[in-house]
Amino acid sequence: MNLPPVGLGTMGIDEPDPIATALDLGYRHVDTARIYGNEAVVGEGLAESDVDREAVTVATKLWIDALAADDVGPTARESAELLGVDGIDLLYVHRPRGAYDPETTLPATDRLVDAGVAGAVGVSNFEIDDLERASEVLDASIAAHQTELHPLFYRPELLEHAREHGYPVVAYSPLAGGKVGEIDEVVEIADRHDATPETVAIAWATAKDPVVAIPKASSERHLRANLAAADLALAPDEIAAIDAIDREEELYPE
């Protein structure tokens, strides 16, 4: 799946204006989830914008309580209705937990693609073994893998698997929950480029093939700054300096 370098994460956004503003500024990938409770809000934002629906990749995720084979279809159709779309461009399995069974859940998602309810199926928060099994079971290849990735938490093996199998890694929480402004290495590089630490963190993530990022932002200022990260090219030594940070802080562990 071809995704832009920077998209919009919407966890915690509870009004449609930031969605519409993001689209008007040039965002073309909007990500939400059942568990966020804001699919209807995202749908309102999509409807408010003059951007053509076909130009935007709309993604949502099925939570672990809706992964039984009989629940996948009805839940995804309800998500599409809440989003106000005929089809969900990218439908994720949010976590391989709860009712998830690759032998039954994934064929149910494939049926949604066949029915036009979903354009493609992705996975989220999967381990290598989970990714391997999903690759074997799904009719088509994995469309994307969404995982936590930021300067304080980085798993190169997931990127390597994505490169080998030809799908993008979608980095959520690329700003480390707001902590990137406290990381000396990131701040120093930001000062060098007359940029914000947030912009540098996103640029670092998206410099890694095949990563795209979905930072969350509500204000126009932050939306613009995050989008600008696509134009910031970090030097190899700057990327290496952030890679070498000796801290691991996973924000959303199992």
Residues labelled as active-site residues: 36
Max Cα distance, the chain (Å): 54
Which residue(s) pair with 57 in the sheet? 29
Element of type H or E holding 80: helix 69-83
Per-position DSSP letters for 109-145, written without gaps between them = HHHHHHHTSBS-EEEES--HHHHHHHHHHSSSPP--E
Give Cα 237 to chain centroid, integer Å.
Answer: 27
Q: Rounded CA gap, 82 and 40, in Å?
A: 5
Q: Rounded CA gap, 18 and 172, in Å?
A: 18
Q: Find, among 169, 167, 179, the residue nearest to 250 by Cα.
A: 179
Residue 144 CB partners (closer than 8 Å, separation 6+) = 1, 3, 90, 92, 120, 122, 123, 167, 168, 169, 170
